[in-house]
Amino acid sequence: MNSHYVPHLIYSVAITSISIHLLSRRKEIETQRSRLSAQISILESLRQRLRSSDSISDSEVERSMKLARAHGDGSREEDTQIEWKEIFSRVKQDDRHGMNEWDKKDLEKRTSVVLLVG
């Protein structure tokens, strides 16, 4: 009699696991988007100031660039401890800072445009 409930129990655990995984991925993506939009905002404001007639010191430009880089890198080094979720998830966690290769290339291109304008 108890064996009739086993498939339902397995299905409910699987559905719960998938939904928790999707929720965590959605939160990671939202965090990454907000980080990248903040970085783009910093660089665009710097570009506008460089294009305008306002004089900007080199230290101020360097400070803005450091702020943009710190935002993109997560501004802190994470611990290299592996959680049990990473062991079973099969998702490669090499890029712990939230930016993939295409985002890094796009950021470098925007940074070079900002530097060329100045």
Task: Give the whole-angstrom CA distance, residue 57 versus residue 73.
Answer: 25
Residue 49's domain spans which residues? 2-75+97-117
Kindly state the tokens that stand for 5: 């409930």
Domain-embedded: residue 88: no
Domain-embedded: residue 50: yes
pLDDT digit string (tens) for 22-66? 999 999 999 999 988 888 888 888 888 888 877 888 888 888 888
| Structural domain contains residue 26 | yes
What are the backbone dihedrals phi and psi of residue 54, each rounded to the nearest 5 degrees, phi first?
-65, 140
In-domain check, residue 86:
no
What is the total count of domains within the chain? 1
pLDDT bucket at 13, cuts 50 / 70 / 90: very high
What is d(CA 45, CA 37) in angstroms, rounded to the nearest whole number?
Answer: 12
Q: Is residue 89 part of a domain?
A: no
Q: Do the beta carbons of residue 63 and residue 70 sit within 8 Å?
A: no
| Model-wide pTM > 0.85 | no
